[in-house]
């Protein structure tokens, strides 16, 4: 970070810039002020903020002090935020103005007394500007020395897609494994909120590679391509939901996207036809899906983009989510017998690595590993002869109908290809003889509302899928689908709402 001429953070909307020198001074001054206010090793520090130039400063400052960042988001509900903060009980919370009322409500509800630091003007709490004032000690500041890389460095929360989120303790070694290869001085676009692990992936990658992190405060599909063109973006890490939005807005012909080397997405698979459509928009850009879990430091499988063979696999096998990475061991296990399976056999993916989580924060996590020390990922997958892995579905989302294993993702891929459908998920609803019947919850594009019938969609699925996966439970039109804080569907909640006639 020695060169003040190299940009480290840039706001894509305002154009404001932090050089490495400015950014480092902010981190050091914040760490010194935090220490003066009593923050010490192992204390929890939370950021509840929209994304801006200063969002990451308390996170790096916490690392300097060996405090543990554990972030949330101002867009969460009171119930979601209370569930998260109750687990970690932060000593200090950095909050953007739109999150103040939320955090005040939650800490009063939980009877907590953390110091609130506000990104902006405040007469009630501590302004973040106090943390940026010059300190005499800053020229001689030394971060806390970490002697054991396997000690917990950060607490991130699981998605909660199949249950309530738990605090996942990742080590310093895990954080080092997060970073991906990036050319020096690359422009990396960050569209992740601080709550997502990918926020830290991009933050650390850009620091280590001396690249620039371009910050997008709010994801807007309509302006996305112009921002990529204007700032000559090289790398983008995004989500399937954001890509689905981008597909509604093809890149305008006047925008120069020649700088865009790769768009990488993770979190969950996306339908092949959507991925191929994005590739058609960007014929000179690598578009790929990589597999990861927060419990294993995000990246569990991946591709070496400098390898001709890996790039060929990306093109030939678009739904592949990666190949084995150094430092990881893998196996596919039969869901009933626990037998280890071979090529092209479906089972649960299990992973062993020294980058795995240390456990859950203040909760027992022993059941997450099998008797051989492999993490139970909960994902149904297989690998082929080239050791390319394909994730098919989540175990807890799969259900049985007439004795058949029903994969919601398989039906959802068909639904997403229907021109009238903006979004859809499939759940299993109880049935006296079939056990559970596949039922689609569908959000229509505005121009198709009241113009497409449920029967039409049922027939469309029937024509494009095997009989076992027909929508025997029918189609229900809804205005929206509920999401977890990390952007995954709240399937259990929506199933309960349907059963209770509340959706």
Give the pLDDT band of residue 294 (cuts 50, 70, 90). confident
> Is a pLDDT exceeding 80 seen at residue 486?
no
Give me the mean pLDDT over the 128-151 stretch.
94
> Is a pLDDT exceeding 60 seen at residue 216?
yes
Torsion, CA 104, CA 110, CA 113, CA 116, rounded to 10: -30
> Is a pLDDT exceeding 50 seen at residue 161?
no
Residue 163: per-residue pLDDT: 57
Residue count (the chain): 503
Residue bearing tokens 């007469």: 123
The DSSP secondary structure of 156-195, one letter per residue, reads: EE---TTSS--EEEEEHHHHHHH-----TT-EEEE---TT
66: left (phi over 0), alpha (psi -120 to 50) or beta: left
> Is a pLDDT exceeding 50 seen at residue 1?
no
Tell the CATH topology of 18-145: Rossmann fold (3.40.50)
C-alpha to C-alpha distance for 369 and 358, rounded to whole angstroms: 12
Give the pLDDT band of residue 182 (cuts 50, 70, 90). low
Residue 224: per-residue pLDDT: 95
What SS3 class is residue 406?
strand
- Residue 241 has, within 13 A of its CA and on its CB side, a CA count of 16
Specify the higher pLDDT residue, 477 or 468.
477
360, 369 in Cβ contact below 8 A? Answer: no
> Is a pLDDT exceeding 90 seen at residue 404?
no
Write down the domain spans for the chain: 18-145, 398-499
Residue 100: per-residue pLDDT: 97
Among the ranges given (9-18, 351-360, 394-403, 460-469), the one the predictor scored with the smallest mean pLDDT: 394-403
Residue 403: per-residue pLDDT: 72
Which residue(s) pair with 349 in the sheet? 332
Give me the mean pLDDT over the 253-269 stretch.
89
> Is a pLDDT exceeding 70 seen at residue 80?
yes
C-alpha to C-alpha distance for 262 and 274, rounded to whole angstroms: 16
Specify the higher pLDDT residue, 205 or 46.
46
C-alpha to C-alpha distance for 275 and 318, rounded to whole angstroms: 7
Number of H helices, E strands in the chain: 13, 26
387: left (phi over 0), alpha (psi -120 to 50) or beta: left
> Is a pLDDT exceeding 50 seen at residue 215?
yes
Give how far Cα 197 sits from Cα of 52, 299, 499, Å: 17, 10, 34
Give the pLDDT band of residue 38 (cuts 50, 70, 90). very high
> Is a pLDDT exceeding 70 seen at residue 415?
yes
Task: Tell me the CATH architecture of domain 398-499.
Answer: 2-Layer Sandwich (3.30)
Percent share of the chain, pLDDT over 90: 62
Give me the mean pLDDT over the 207-227 stretch.
91
Among the ranges given (2-6, 135-139, 332-336, 350-354), the one the predictor scored with the smallest mean pLDDT: 2-6
C-alpha to C-alpha distance for 107 and 85, rounded to whole angstroms: 8
Highest mean pLDDT among 89-103, 245-259, 289-303: 89-103
Give me the mean pLDDT over the 430-459 stretch.
92
Give me the mean pLDDT over the 47-56 stretch.
95
> Is a pLDDT exceeding 50 seen at residue 254?
yes
Give the pLDDT band of residue 335 (cuts 50, 70, 90). confident
235, 265 in Cβ contact below 8 A? Answer: no
Residue 160: per-residue pLDDT: 44
Q: What is the DSSP letter of 287?
A: E
Percent share of the chain, pLDDT over 70: 95
Give the pLDDT band of residue 11 (cuts 50, 70, 90). very high
Closest CA to 485 of 200, 45, 102, 71: 71
Specify the higher pLDDT residue, 396 or 226.
226
Specify the higher pLDDT residue, 27 or 204.
27
What's the pTM?
A: 0.82
- If one counts every other C-beta atom within 10 angstroms of the C-beta of residue 288, the result is 23
What SS3 class is residue 437?
strand
Give me the mean pLDDT over the 19-45 stretch.
96
The burial class, CB within 10 Å (0-12 / 13-18 / 19+), for 128 is buried
Give the pLDDT band of residue 67 (cuts 50, 70, 90). very high
Residue 183: per-residue pLDDT: 57
C-alpha to C-alpha distance for 243 and 248, rounded to whole angstroms: 9
């Amino acid at each position: 970070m020695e060169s003040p001429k190299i940009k480290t953070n840039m706001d894509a909307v305002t154009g404001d810039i932090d050089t490495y020198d400015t950014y480092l001074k902010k981190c050091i001054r914040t760490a010194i002020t935090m220490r003066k206010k009593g923050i010490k090793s192992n204390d929890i520090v939370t950021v509840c903020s929209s994304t801006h130039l200063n969002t990451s400063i308390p996170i790096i400052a916490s690392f300097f002090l060996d405090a543990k960042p554990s972030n949330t988001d101002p867009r969460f509900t009171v119930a979601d935020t209370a569930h998260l903060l109750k687990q970690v009980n932060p000593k200090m919370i950095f909050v953007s103005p739109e999150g103040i009322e939320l955090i005040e409500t939650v800490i009063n509800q939980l009877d907590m007394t953390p110091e609130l630091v506000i990104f902006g003007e405040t007469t009630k709490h501590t302004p973040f500007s106090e943390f940026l004032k010059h300190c005499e000690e800053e020229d001689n500041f030394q971060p806390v020395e970490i002697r054991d890389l396997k000690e917990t460095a950060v607490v991130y929360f699981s998605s909660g897609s199949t249950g309530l989120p738990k605090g996942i303790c990742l080590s310093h070694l895990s954080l080092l494994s997060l970073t991906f290869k990036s050319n020096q001085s690359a422009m990396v676009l960050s569209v992740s909120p601080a709550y997502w692990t990918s926020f830290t992936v991009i933050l650390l990658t850009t620091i280590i590679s001396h690249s620039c992190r371009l910050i997008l405060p709010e994801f807007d599909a309509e302006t996305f391509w112009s921002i990529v063109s204007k700032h000559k973006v090289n790398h983008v890490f995004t989500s399937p939901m954001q890509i689905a939005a981008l597909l509604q807005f093809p890149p305008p012909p006047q925008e120069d996207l020649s700088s865009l080397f790769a768009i990488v997405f993770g979190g969950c698979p996306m339908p092949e036809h959507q991925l191929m459509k994005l590739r058609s928009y960007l014929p000179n850009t690598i578009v790929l899906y990589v597999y990861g879990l927060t419990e294993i430091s995000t990246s569990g499988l991946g591709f070496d983009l400098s390898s001709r063979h890996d790039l060929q696999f990306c093109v030939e096998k678009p739904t592949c989510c990666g190949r084995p990475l150094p430092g990881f061991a893998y196996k596919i296990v039969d869901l009933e017998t626990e037998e280890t399976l071979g090529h092209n056999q479906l089972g649960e993916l299990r992973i062993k690595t020294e980058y795995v989580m240390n456990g859950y924060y203040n909760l027992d996590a022993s059941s997450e590993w099998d008797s051989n020390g492999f993490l139970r990922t909960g994902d149904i997958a297989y690998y082929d002869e080239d050791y390319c892995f394909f994730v098919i579905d989540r175990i807890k989302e799969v259900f049985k109908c007439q004795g058949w294993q029903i994969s919601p993702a398989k039906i959802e891929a068909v639904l997403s290809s229907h021109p009238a459908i903006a979004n859809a998920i499939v759940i299993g609803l109880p049935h006296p003889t079939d056990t559970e019947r596949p039922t689609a919850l569908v959000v229509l594009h505005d121009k198709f509302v009241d113009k497409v019938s449920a029967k039409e969609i049922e027939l469309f699925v029937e024509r494009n899928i095997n009989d076992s996966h027909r929508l025997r439970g029918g189609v229900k039109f809804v205005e929206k689908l509920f999401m977890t804080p990390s952007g995954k569907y709240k399937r259990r909640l929506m199933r309960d709402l349907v059963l209770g006639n509340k959706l």
